C-alpha cells in the first residue's frame, strides 16, 4: 500500500478546495476590524483564530465574496452569515458544526461551500436553491442523507463526500450533467447505482472502502472517466466493458478479490498508472498485465 497514497493524492488534485483568498483580485483582510475599515472589502480570511462565534458586525461587509473560517471552534451558524448575500466562497472546514441549516439557501451566489471536517449529519433541502454552486466539499462528517434537491444544483462540478455514512444518493443526481468529480470513498455503499451512469461528464470517480461486489457492464457509458478508484471493496471480477474507457489514466483496484483483470486490458492505451496491490493475482496474470500495458506504471504484489 506504500505506492497508493501518493499517486492518488497527486491525481485527485481537482478535488482540492481553494482555502486562500486571491490577493491579485483585491485586498485580503485577516481581522474583522481591518476589513470593516474598508466598506468595499471582498475577501476576509479568519482561519485559525480560535473563534467560537462571529461578531454581528460582519454583516456590514455587504460586498464580501470570500470568507475563510477554517480551523475555528464554531458549533452553530451565526445568523449574520446569512446576510452576506454576495458570498461566493464560504469555507467552514474543521469546525464543530452539527448541522447545515436550511438558511444556506439565502446565499444565492455561492460557488464553493466547504464544510469538511465537522459533525454534520444531513444535507438539507435548501441546498437546491444554490444554482451557482460548483464545488461542494463535505468530507469527514457523519452525513447519512442528501436531500433530493441536490439535483437542482445544475452547476455542480465537484461533490466530495468521502468519510461519511452514506449508503445511497438520491435519484436526482442524474441531473448533475456538469459533474466532473464524485468522491464517495469511505462510506457504506453496497452497490453501484445505475443513476451514476448518467453522469456523462464525470472524469473522476472514487468509491474506495465501500462494499461493492461488482461493477455494471454499462460502466462503459462513463466515457470521460480519467480516474477510477475502487480500492478495498469486495470485487472478484471487473467487466470486460471497462476496457472501453479510452480516456482512463489512473485505475486503482487494490485490496479486492481479483484473480484476473479484463482479457483486453491492453485497450486502455491512455492508462498511465494501474495499482492492483493485495489481490490474489497469479504470477502468470501479473506478467500478462505488464506485457499488455507496456507504457503504464503497474503496481502489483511481488511474488
> What CATH number is given to the structural domain containing 53?
3.80.10.10
Look up residue 165 and give its three cell numbers. 455514512
Q: pLDDT-based confidence at 7, cuts 50/70/90? A: very low
Among 28, 72, 25, 29, CA closest to 51: 72
- Residue 156 resides in a domain: yes
Nearest to 170 by CA among 197, 149, 190: 149
Q: What is the pLDDT of residue 39?
A: 87
Q: Is residue 270 part of a domain?
A: no
State the residue range of the domain holding 61. Answer: 49-169+184-190
List the one residue out of 191, 279, 283 whose CA is nearest residue 232: 279
Residue 12 pLDDT greater than 60, yes or no: no
* Predicted local distance difference test score (pLDDT) of residue 20: 73
Between the alpha carbon of residue 235 and those of residues 156, 213, 255, 265, the distances in Å are: 30, 5, 9, 17
Per-residue pLDDT tens digits for 20-60:
777 668 899 999 999 999 989 999 999 999 999 999 999 99
Percent of the chain scoring above 90 in pLDDT: 91
Contact residues for 118 (Cβ-Cβ < 8 A; gap 6+): 92, 93, 94, 95, 96, 97, 98, 140, 141
Residue 115 lies inside a defined structural domain of this protein = yes
Which residue has 497508493 as its cell numbers?
Answer: 4
> What would the mean pLDDT of 99-125 be, rounded to a whole number?
98
Total domain count for the chain? 1
Region of poorest pLDDT, from 5-19, 110-124, 229-243:
5-19
Does the pLDDT at position 9 exceed 60? no
Q: Is the pLDDT of residue 91 over 50?
A: yes
pTM beyond 0.75, yes or no: yes
Structure confidence at residue 90 as a pLDDT band (50, 70, 90)? very high
pLDDT recorded at residue 19? 66
Domain assignment present for 34: no
For the chain, give the mean pLDDT: 94
The pLDDT value given to residue 18: 60
6 pLDDT tier (thresholds 50, 70, 90):
very low
Taking a C-beta distance cutoff of 8 angstroms, is the pair 274, 24 a contact? Answer: no
Tell me, yes or no, whether 57 lies in a domain: yes
Torsion of CA 83, 89, 93, 97, to 10 degrees: 20
Q: With left for phi above 0 and alpha for psi between -120 and 50, is residue 301 left, alpha or beta?
A: beta
Residue 221 domain flag: no
What pLDDT does residue 15 have? 46
Q: Does the residue 35 lie in any domain?
A: no
Cβ proximity of 204 and 182 under 8 Å: yes
Residue 22's pLDDT is 78
pLDDT band at 2 (very low <50, low <70, confident <90, very high): very low
User: Cα separation of 253 and 81, whole Å?
Assistant: 43
- Give the DSSP H or E segment for 8: helix 4-11
Residue 22 lies in a domain: no
Amino acid at each position: 500500500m506504500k505506492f497508493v497514497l501518493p499517486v492518488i493524492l497527486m491525481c485527485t488534485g481537482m478535488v482540492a478546495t481553494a482555502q486562500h483568498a486571491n490577493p491579485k483580485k483585491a485586498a485580503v483582510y485577516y481581522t474583522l476590524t481591518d476589513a470593516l475599515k474598508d466598506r468595499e472589502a471582498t475577501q476576509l480570511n479568519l482561519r485559525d483564530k480560535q473563534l467560537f462565534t462571529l461578531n454581528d458586525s460582519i454583516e456590514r461587509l455587504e460586498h464580501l465574496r470570500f470568507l475563510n473560517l477554517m480551523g475555528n471552534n464554531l458549533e452553530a451558524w451565526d445568523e449574520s452569515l446569512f446576510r452576506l448575500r454576495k458570498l461566493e466562497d464560504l469555507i467552514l472546514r474543521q469546525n464543530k458544526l452539527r448541522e447545515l441549516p436550511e438558511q444556506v439557501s439565502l446565499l444565492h451566489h455561492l460557488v464553493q461551500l466547504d464544510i469538511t471536517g465537522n459533525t454534520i449529519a444531513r444535507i438539507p433541502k435548501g441546498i437546491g436553491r444554490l444554482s451557482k454552486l460548483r464545488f461542494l466539499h463535505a468530507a469527514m462528517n457523519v452525513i447519512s442523507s442528501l436531500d433530493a434537491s441536490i439535483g437542482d444544483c445544475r452547476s455542480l462540478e465537484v461533490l466530495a463526500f468521502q468519510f461519511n455514512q452514506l449508503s445511497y444518493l438520491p435519484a436526482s443526481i442524474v441531473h448533475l450533467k456538469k459533474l466532473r468529480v464524485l468522491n464517495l470513498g469511505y462510506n457504506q455503499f453496497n452497490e453501484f447505482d445505475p443513476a451514476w451512469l448518467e453522469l456523462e461528464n464525470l472524469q473522476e470517480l472514487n468509491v474506495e472502502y465501500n462494499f461493492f461486489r461488482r461493477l455494471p457492464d454499462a460502466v462503459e457509458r462513463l466515457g470521460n472517466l480519467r480516474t477510477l478508484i475502487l480500492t478495498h471493496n469486495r470485487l472478484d471480477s471487473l467487466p470486460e466493458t471497462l476496457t472501453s474507457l479510452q480516456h482512463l489514466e489512473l485505475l486503482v483496484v487494490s485490496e479486492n478479490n481479483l484473480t484476473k483483470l479484463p482479457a483486453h486490458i491492453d485497450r486502455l492505451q491512455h492508462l498511465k498508472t494501474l495499482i492492483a496491490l493485495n489481490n490474489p493475482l497469479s504470477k502468470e496474470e501479473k506478467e500478462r498485465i505488464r506485457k499488455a500495458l507496456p507504457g503504464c506504471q503497474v503496481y502489483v504484489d511481488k511474488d
